DNA sequence: CTGAAAGCGCTAACAA
DNA sequence: TTGTTAGCGCTTTCAG
């Protein structure tokens, strides 16, 4: 009777019965709070272990304890960048005994709102969202819920409370100045994700206006609808170089595409950077294995995830504000 | 008074007060169960929307409802393979309104057990674990918890209830036969993860014994401790080719390493496959962008995740048994 | 069709 | 140092 039946897992009552104490005492011992004798402590610990007791957090949280769970919404899993961010989030949360619940929005703000509503039903103590553009409903919902919210990747715009990312505009503009300095004035742009990647768009916009301000120009622009990948980059580059003969450089929205471009050039004996210069974005580790070092912008992806996680986990050394991390130009030999 | 205070989120009581019905009626309407008039239905729906009501799942689950949450433990986030699996899991769960909670074990069985204990405290309705080797404690814990458990990637060994994966042994043996058929008898093996990747080990063991049975031999073996990556593959290949001069092929534990190997050969004018043959494992999409098509084994990663998710989500068309998916040899031009 | 009562497993507050 | 009481927000059961 006091033993849990086959069907239901043991509760504190079962542990209490086995240890010969009250259920409340079990609660205290297991949390290590309040007072209890050494004897009781070991009896309870033994009983819990013997029964294979596992805490029911739903009940604790329901009673007012903080839920060590963080809702995380990423735009996609197809881009390594977010995997790195995820790793940073997960590692950091794990350090303090918290876990992420996941959702993928596929770059849709409406879907993001739905996901957040859903996650809030588990009463997480924090939320990590991507980007800084959200629906009004989302903003209202999270404001009402009172959970901590971190927005990652982007810091340009109106943050809900804390944002962690880089300046996409500065990164784009810096690359434009580098192009100009290297004498690349006629530039093609190749992107993916059909323009739903708002951060790539911000970068490109800044790149373009800086380039034009410095006397350069965009001679070709192609933003494919598919997800970014090396094969896609190779394909788009082939198309670009056969369409346009008057560009001396290609700016890709990320490294996967740029690496694909480099592969095209390698396989087709297009000299880089003399035939055409190439640059990507992110500085993914695999670049260092390629035959040529692609010029790119290093982004602190893991750090962004880690910092955001520290914030939503309630670390008091991470204030709620705009955290702009450094994105550094990495000059390779493709420009 | 009936309105939620600034601090706490609105409950069914608040909605009930606003709609002029009892809390129980709100519960019924919101779940669409039982009977209620059209009038009551709209009043409740309006009130809920006006208040921005979000269900408190902790309470429902506590009361006996199923928690649409699946605990997922992966060995690493550094290997694209698991990202694909994750995508399959997430997409499939999302279709039925479920979400994954994540943990990364870093290939440690002890860590896996800790993670599972932690996740079970949220009363998830299912668990997806990687591999088929687990601690006894883990097995006891999940047996007692009564949740559905799926084990992915590997099907050779004693599954808890349902396993989804490929035959690592068959994949390794098939590659060995391919090597022999192509005349590659003296083979080097390059791996990573310091041998904690049990699946790679199984593959290699089968590869080796099949190779030797057919008259081939392993002339070099290097399993680095670091995580698998293209740069690592390039580095290890360089070391291998400078150490050993008598191997005519290298079998890599995965595509990242193999691609790194190919890059080394490209950059150092080592002809492939005549100077040395190369083969990887997984058939990652980026291979199609490389200058040469690397021979590899295609693994149905997304499908494994998707199927496992269907099972733990409670789909009745996925029985609890050993699901061995097909891993197909993909012959490229590097062997 | 609608509501009142009971209780899931836990913890804060108080009593012993 | 330990136990008792109340109640978190919800759903099951049973009464109107």
pLDDT in tens, chain B (335 residues): 333 334 578 999 999 999 999 999 999 999 998 899 999 999 999 999 999 999 999 999 999 999 999 999 999 999 899 999 999 999 999 999 999 999 999 999 999 999 999 999 999 999 999 999 999 999 999 999 999 999 999 999 999 999 999 999 999 999 999 999 999 999 999 999 988 889 999 999 999 999 999 999 999 999 999 999 999 999 999 999 998 778 999 999 999 999 999 999 999 999 999 999 999 999 999 999 899 999 999 999 999 999 999 999 999 999 999 999 999 999 999 99
Nearest residue to D7 (CA, C1')?
Answer: A63
Q: Are A152 and A129 in contact (CB under 8 A)?
A: yes
Interface residues 64-123 of A with strand D (CB < 7 Å): 64
Q: Residue B37, CA: closest nucleotide via C1'?
A: C1
CB contact under 8 A, A266 and B101: no
Residues 6+ apart with CB under 8 A from B274: none
**Cβ pair A141:B233 closer than 8 A:** no
Nucleotide nearest to A65 (CA to C1'): C11
Assess B49–A contact: CB distance below 8 Å, yes or no: no
Q: Note whether A329 contacts B: Cβ–Cβ < 8 A.
A: no
Does B83 sit within 8 Å of A77, measured CB to CB?
yes
Region(s) of chain A under CATH 3.40.50.2300: 69-166+301-325, 168-298
Give tens-digit pLDDT for B12-21.
999 999 999 9
Judged by C1' against the alpha carbon of A63, the nearest nucleotide is: D8
DSSP assignment of A9-25: PP-HHHHHHHHTS-HHH
The pLDDT value given to residue A61: 96
Dig out the tokens for B241 from the structure. Answer: 């080719």
Measured CA to CA, the distance from residue A40 to residue A299 in angstroms comes to 53
| Residue B208 distance to chain A (closest CA, Å) | 28
CA-closest candidate to residue A86, choices B90, B292, B109, B146: B90
Find the closest chain B residue to A6 by CA distance: B144
In chain A (335 residues long), the average pLDDT of successive 10-residue segments reads 53 94 95 92 95 96 96 94 96 98 96 98 97 96 95 94 96 98 97 90 97 97 95 97 88 97 96 97 94 97 98 94 97 97
Residue B118 sits at φ, ψ, to 5 deg, of -60, -45
What's the pLDDT at B246?
Answer: 86
Q: Does A54 touch chain B (CB under 8 A)?
A: yes
CATH code: domain A69-166+301-325 is: 3.40.50.2300
User: How far is it, in rounded angstroms, from Cα A164 to Cα A148?
Assistant: 14
Strand C nucleotides in reach of protein CB atoms, 7 A cut-off: 1-5, 7-13
Token pair 């622009």 is found at A221
Chain A, residues 167-206, CB within 8 A of chain B, namely none
d(CA B197, CA B109): 11
- Cα(A145)–Cα(A127) distance, integer angstroms: 11
Are the CB atoms for B244 and B188 separated by under 8 Å? yes
The answer, for B9 touching chain A at a CB cutoff of 8 Å, is yes
Q: Which residues in chain B are contacts of A306 at CB distance < 8 A?
A: none
Q: B5 CA to C12 C1', in Å?
A: 20
Protein residue nearest nucleotide C6, by CA to C1':
B63
Domain spanning B3-55, CATH class: mainly alpha
User: Using an 8 Å Cβ cutoff, are A325 and A300 in contact?
Assistant: yes
Please give the Cα distance from B88 to A78 (Å, whole number): 11
Give the number of other CB atoms < 10 A from CB of residue A66. Answer: 13
Find all residues with CB under 8 Å of B291, minimum gap 6, and list them.
A263, A266, A267, B262, B266
**pLDDT the model gives residue B145:** 94
Task: For the domain made up of B168-298, give the CATH fold.
Answer: Rossmann fold (3.40.50)
Nearest-angstrom CA–CA distance, B12 and B26: 6
To the nearest whole Å, the CA of B254 is away from the closest chain A CA by 14
Distances (CA, A) of A136 to A130, A132, B70: 15, 12, 30
């Amino acid at each position: 009777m006091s033993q849990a039946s086959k069907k239901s897992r043991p509760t504190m009552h079962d542990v209490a019965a086995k240890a010969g104490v009250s259920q409340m005492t079990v609660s205290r011992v297991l949390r290590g709070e309040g007072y209890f004798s050494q004897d009781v402590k070991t009896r309870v610990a033994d009983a819990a272990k013997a029964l294979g007791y596992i805490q029911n957090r739903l009940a604790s949280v329901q009673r007012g304890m903080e839920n060590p769970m963080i809702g995380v919404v990423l735009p996609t899993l197809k881009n390594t960048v977010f995997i790195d961010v995820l790793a940073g989030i997960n590692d950091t949360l794990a350090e303090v005994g918290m876990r992420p619940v996941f959702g993928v929005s596929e770059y849709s703000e409406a879907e993001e709102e739905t996901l957040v509503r859903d996650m809030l039903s588990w009463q997480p103590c924090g939320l990590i969202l991507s980007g800084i553009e959200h629906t009004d409903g989302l903003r209202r919902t999270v404001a009402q819920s009172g959970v901590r919210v971190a927005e990652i990747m982007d810091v340009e715009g109106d943050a809900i409370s804390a944002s962690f990312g880089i300046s996409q505009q500065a990164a784009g503009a810096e690359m434009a100045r580098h192009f100009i300095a290297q004498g690349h004035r006629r530039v093609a742009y190749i992107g993916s994700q059909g323009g739903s990647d708002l951060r790539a768009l911000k970068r490109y916009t800044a790149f373009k206006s800086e380039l034009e301000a410095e006397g350069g120009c965009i001679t070709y622009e192609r933003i494919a609808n598919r997800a970014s990948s090396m094969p896609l980059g190779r394909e788009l580059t082939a198309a670009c170089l056969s369409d346009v003969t008057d560009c001396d450089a290609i700016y890709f929205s990320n490294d996967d595409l740029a690496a694909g471009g480099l592969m095209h050039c390698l396989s087709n004996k297009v000299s880089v950077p003399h035939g055409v210069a190439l640059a990507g974005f992110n500085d993914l580790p695999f670049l260092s294995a390629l035959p040529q070092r692609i010029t790119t912008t290093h982004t602190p992806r893991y750090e962004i995830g880690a910092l955001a996680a520290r914030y939503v986990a309630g670390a008091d050394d991470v204030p709620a504000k705009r955290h702009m991390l450094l994105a550094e130009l990495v000059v390779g030999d493709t420009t």
